[in-house]
Amino acid sequence: MTNSDLKYYLSDVNMYSSKLIQSILSFSPREMKGFCQFVHSSFHNQHRDVLKLLEFIISRNEINPNSVLKKDAFAYVFPDDEFHNMRIIHVMSYLLKIVESYLAYLNWQENPVMEELNLVRSLRKRDLGKSFKQKVKSFKKIQEKEPLRDARFHYFRYQLELEHYKFISEQRRDIRSNLQEISNGLNVFFIAEKLKQTCEIISHNIVEKKEYELELLDEVLNYIEKKKKYLEIPAIGLYYYGYKILTDISAPDFFKFKDLLFENQNAFPKEEIKDLHIIAINFCIKQLNTGFTKFNKDLFELYQSGLDSGIFMKNGIISRFTFINAVSLGLKMNAFEWVQEFITVYKGNLDEKYRKSIFDYNQAKLYYEQKKYKESMLILIQTDVDDVLVNLDVKRMLLKMYYELGEFEALEALIESFRIYLARKKVIGYHKTNYMNILAIIKKLIYLDPKDEKEKQRIVELIDSKEILTEKTWLLAQLN
């Protein structure tokens, strides 16, 4: 136990915030069952006190700061002894070591390729030639059956070739070596990992604004451009084009990236596929921000792909922002059937805290786009969302529907309450300016004489003069 750990344990009367309890709380029911078996194995644990402490922890109806006090744990483990802080600390320390061993075991178990590689290495070191050769063959078969083709795949392939080389070098000098295969494997792994890390650094730098030294990057890029065959390897091709679209807005590179991404959905771990989707999504957003609306279709397809593969969900929960973005994109593409299905199917995956309000808001948005104004308004006037930007959008839709339906009394009341809302809320400057402009122009439209062509022209010029005005198209349409 380190000094910092000791200080931490001594400073607390309960165990709840300890690494031990927090690690145990991270276990799923299945993992907890496995952990109990793990601790009861004499191979992993020979301390009865450790078993008693585990019994104490799992006997709690609920683990909270009051249910795992050190004094209670000590009385359970040592019922006949007077409380001694250091004794319970030592037992906690032993159990924590077993927890960490179990976590390492779970990780090892999740990676059969790593398990096989370690076995191959062990067989070589013990000079068990026959078993080694058989295991190398089975290792290659396991790798080929594995769908993943990420940088780790190429790393394990390189490591296997390295073990094979060490084996044949120890046997006979006249056997053909596999040094070329080792060199090729190392090249592929290094290039793939270098490009991946570069993309991560650039993506991170957008937020962090920190300078990084990307050593050897130019050499790697020049090498790939000379040896185009490397672009056929998904782990290289994807990150090469990923780098290109992160540093340039070249559309051809984006479409190559997108095609490769969709073709290799199962070739990378889910977290990596999510990161790759985000690279593509951010590229589309940049294009849309510069006026290239054709990228709405690509953005919509990326969201569909991410939803279908489950990468936009964490522990079965979809972010309300992802939910709203997906609906907005679907509506822009007039994919009304898809939007209705999405809203209905994924409603249960929203955080319970936001479920009803976010579902209602998006259902109302769909009705609005379908021109089902009465249905939309009925929902919106009862919707209360704890998000300023969503509330602004709710009011925006109501403004437009009241105007188009000629409900000017309700419209004027909304304009006034909207002004008060904008003044009261700490709304980002851009949004406040945008909505104040919209309100001012709608107010003019309400009192516009349809026959007054000069006033119409003045309003057109006013609309055109506003740099911040998201409803320009709709406002101009009302004048026609």
For the segment 143-151, the average pLDDT, to the nearest whole number, is: 90
364/390 Cα distance (integer angstroms): 12
Q: Which tokens is 404 given? A: 């188009």
3 state DSSP class of 313: strand
81/435 Cα distance (integer angstroms): 71
381 touches 350 (CB < 8 A):
no
For the segment 368-372, the average pLDDT, to the nearest whole number, is: 97
Q: Which tokens is 2 given? A: 């380190």
pLDDT for residue 5: 52
Reported as a single tens digit per residue, the pLDDT across 408-463 is 999 999 999 999 999 887 767 788 999 999 999 999 999 999 899 999 999 999 99
50/61 Cα distance (integer angstroms): 20
pLDDT for residue 109: 84
pLDDT for residue 9: 46
Reported as a single tens digit per residue, the pLDDT across 80-92 is 999 999 999 999 9
171 pLDDT more than 90: no
Q: What are phi and psi of 21, to 5 degrees?
A: -65, -40
| % of the chain at pLDDT higher than 70 | 95
Reported as a single tens digit per residue, the pLDDT across 176-192 is 789 999 999 999 999 99
What is the domain partition of the chain in residue ranges?
A: 3-109, 113-198, 312-386, 387-480
11 pLDDT more than 50: no
170 pLDDT more than 90: no
14 has which bridge partners?
A: 69
Reported as a single tens digit per residue, the pLDDT across 331-348 is 999 999 999 999 999 999
Q: Which tokens is 126 given? A: 């013990």
Q: Which tokens is 112 given? A: 């059969």
Residues shown for the chain: 480
397 has which bridge partners?
A: none
DSSP 348: G
DSSP 248: -
280/257 Cα distance (integer angstroms): 8
CA-based angle 182:185:188, to the nearest 5? Answer: 150
189/236 Cα distance (integer angstroms): 9
100/20 Cα distance (integer angstroms): 9
Closest CA to 21 of 79, 91, 99: 99
pLDDT for residue 385: 80
Q: In Å, what is the CA distance from 116 to each residue of 14, 120, 134, 458? A: 42, 6, 12, 77
Q: Which tokens is 152 given? A: 């780790």
